[in-house]
Amino acid sequence: MMTKVRYLAIPTAFMAVFFLGPLLSLLTISFTEGYPLGFMPSINSYLHVIFDSYYLEYLLTTIAYGLIVTVLCLLIGYPFAYYMARYARASYNVMLVALVSPLLIGVVVRTVGWTILFGSSGLFNQTLLALGIINTPLQILYTPLASTIGMVQVLLPFMVLSIISVLSNMDASVEEAACSLGAGRLTVFLRVTLPLSIRGVASGCVLVFALTIGAYLTPVLLGGGKSRLMSPLIYQEINSLVDWSLGAALSVVLLIVGVTTMAIVPRLVMRIWRT
């Protein structure tokens, strides 16, 4: 018993210093007013976040943005993961490397690549102009569309890896048995494959949603700061307006949304599928 406690001492101390410490500091600052110029206990920051329509709009927009990116990653990622798990044999390793390799490149570098692609003189617009589809370049860069595409590309591997980890361990004979009993492909997918892989779907959705609502670089660089999202707002409140109290309160609210999603959604999804 003492040996186990000794092994856990270092990671526990690490978490306490580098995770719980900053988190408690953030929570303390959120219940003040005028920080860092003053330290007056107050809940005004939370009242602003909850009852001010300006900040409420940012919160709702962030949640909607997270849901859109999550759904797109699921619609693209599930077929990709299913093909890798069921049909990719010799090409499995190649596809896996192609999927994971973007994670080895920094988000900034990948985002800059999208800015070059979506620019007025970028490859996308130049191709459409050469084909005669458009007469003038489209304004794609610095729009919510560009921001969404960039986030889907960044987070798609997390969705695919979450789903494929379940599909790869699923016995394919179960699907073959359903087909032999007269079930069509769609029925087999809806009644057999999807329910058995729902844990991977739930894990991927929670992971992508949590990462999306906390994203900063991609929405700012591709969206041009026009999207009303919480992370750029928090940066503005703390660094530009020097309102650390309000920025901390916004951070705590965003953290609560992410933690609540990770705690409730998987259990809710599993309960719905069981019933």
Could you give the domains of the chain?
Answer: 68-242 (1.10.3720.10)
159-209 pLDDT, tens digit per residue, is 999 999 999 888 777 877 888 777 788 888 878 888 888 889 988 999 999
> Which pTM was predicted?
0.88
43-89 pLDDT, tens digit per residue, is 888 998 888 899 999 999 999 999 999 999 999 999 999 999 888 87
Cα angle: 125, vertex 152, 119; to 5 degrees: 20
238-271 pLDDT, tens digit per residue, is 888 888 899 999 999 999 988 888 888 777 777 7
Percent of the chain topping pLDDT 70: 95
Burial of 233 (0-12, 13-18, 19+ CB in 10 A): buried
**231, 198 Cβ separation under 8 angstroms:** no
Is the per-residue pLDDT at 8 higher than 80? no
* CA separation for the pair 54, 40 (Å, rounded): 24
pLDDT band at 38 (very low <50, low <70, confident <90, very high): low
Query: Can you name the residues that pair with 40 across neighbouring β-strands?
Result: 33
Pairing type for strands 40-41 and 32-33 reads antiparallel
Q: Which residues of 53-91 are buried (b: 16+ CB within 10 A; e: fewer)?
A: eebeebbebbbebbeebbebbbeebbebbbebbeebeee
Bond preceding residue 36 cis, omega within 30 of 0? yes
Spell out the residues 6+ positions from residue 238 whose beta carbon is closer than 8 angstroms to its own: 244, 247, 248
Is the per-residue pLDDT at 90 higher than 70? yes
Cα angle: 249, vertex 251, 257; to 5 degrees: 105
φ, ψ dihedrals at 33, nearest 5°: -135, 130
Residue-level pLDDT at 67: 92
* CA separation for the pair 215, 209 (Å, rounded): 10
**32, 41 Cβ separation under 8 angstroms:** yes
